[in-house]
Amino acid sequence: MTTLTAPAPAPRAHLTRWLLRLHRPTLYVWAGLLLAAAVLLLLLRGPLADAAADAWRQYDSCTDWRRCTYDQNAILRYKDWYNYATLAVAAVPFLTAAWAGGAFGKELESGTAKLAWTQSSTPVRWLAVRLAVPAAAVAAGTALLVWLHHLAWAAGDDRIDTAKQWYDVWTFHTNGPTLPALALCGLAAGALTGLLSRRTLPALGLGLLLTGAVWTAVQLLLPRLWPTRTSTGKAFFALPNSSWTVRTGKHAEVPYGDYHPASHYWPLQLTTTALLLAVTALLTLGCFLALRRLTGKTTA
């Protein structure tokens, strides 16, 4: 462990500008991805959803199947592009984790970080800026994608028979604040693995694995983060299609099911977001502890 002599603190604005210049190619790629995803989501909200809805109306109004005509391609086109867009938006936290792990690991592996600590910034300020600036960009960009995705999903809800339900695993997260929270978690996870491994490729892979582990744990806990309702007997078979059935069984030959109605959407979103932000805070604390172990006691 090496104790560094603290340099004269550089202004935060200077550190931010230098960081933006350093990662300018990444910013261009991020902006390009945001633009492409936004265009696709707007198409899904507008002409693609309208065409699929019209095709389903034609299909549902058919009385003579020998003469029934409807635009099947419009239905399939909407379904395919919706899935592509949803998976692309859902991948943001994992891309963030990979980038953060690689970026932190590269700076420590190449010695760029130590050079900055001795010439322009203290280690704590270096880490704070490298977490805060990407966090702002990731949170803002992901929130925009989530908003546009929710608009695209709402345009097909109740109009397109094959539209995803609110509880579909990918749709649920890409429609609400859980995704920006998971993206911030991925950023902290990647930064922590970079600080611990101090190598580019291992940090990139470990950041992905850690984010994947958090995602898996959230999926297992999600149905239990808000109390379910229980329906028994004949009422169990009359649940609305928008209900998320999480468990079924029989007790004394009477069927029962635990489920979340559509009104539980926001309670589940908010409790999951709070959990992810708590994990993000712990990972961020781990980053600063790892930095302290790496550099020794330094001034902020």
- Give me Rg for the CA atoms of the chain: 24
Quick: pLDDT tens for 76-106.
Answer: 999 999 999 999 999 999 999 999 999 999 8
Instruction: Tell me whether residue 239 is in a domain.
Output: no
Instruction: Tell me whether residue 44 is in a domain.
Output: yes
At residue 254 the predicted structure's pLDDT band, cuts being 50, 70 and 90, is low
Instruction: Tell me whether residue 265 is in a domain.
Output: yes
What is the residue type of 75? I
User: 38 by DSSP, 3-state: which?
Assistant: helix
Instruction: Tell me whether residue 249 is in a domain.
Output: no
| Mean pLDDT estimate for the chain | 87
Instruction: Tell me whether residue 58 is in a domain.
Output: yes
Instruction: Tell me whether residue 123 is in a domain.
Output: yes
Quick: pLDDT tens for 145-193.
Answer: 999 999 999 998 888 888 899 999 999 999 999 999 999 999 999 999 9
Quick: pLDDT tens for 47-60.
Answer: 999 999 998 888 88
**H, E, C per residue of 79-122:** HHHHHHHHHHHHCHHHHHHHHHHHHHHHHHHHCHHHHHHHHCCC
Range 18-32 average pLDDT: 80
Residue that has been written with the tokens 């806990």 in this structure: 221
Strand arrangement, sheet containing 229-232: 229-232, 254-260, 244-251
| Residue 256, strand partner residues | 232, 249
Instruction: Tell me whether residue 280 is in a domain.
Output: yes
Domain hosting 116: range is 12-224+261-295
- Which candidate, 299, 293, 297, 300, places its Cα nearest to that of 1? 293
Residue 43 above 90 pLDDT? yes
Please tell me the least confidently modeled range out of 14-18, 27-31, 274-278: 14-18
Q: Are residues 201 and 192 in contact, defined by beta-carbon separation less than 8 angstroms?
A: no
Please give the model's pTM, rounded to 2 decimal places: 0.87
Q: Are residues 59 and 51 in contact, defined by beta-carbon separation less than 8 angstroms?
A: no
Helices (H), 157-264: 169-174, 178-197, 200-221
- The confidence score (pLDDT) of residue 299 equals 44
| Number of domains making up the chain | 1
Identify each DSSP E strand in the chain by its residue range: 229-232, 244-251, 254-260
Instruction: Tell me whether residue 287 is in a domain.
Output: yes
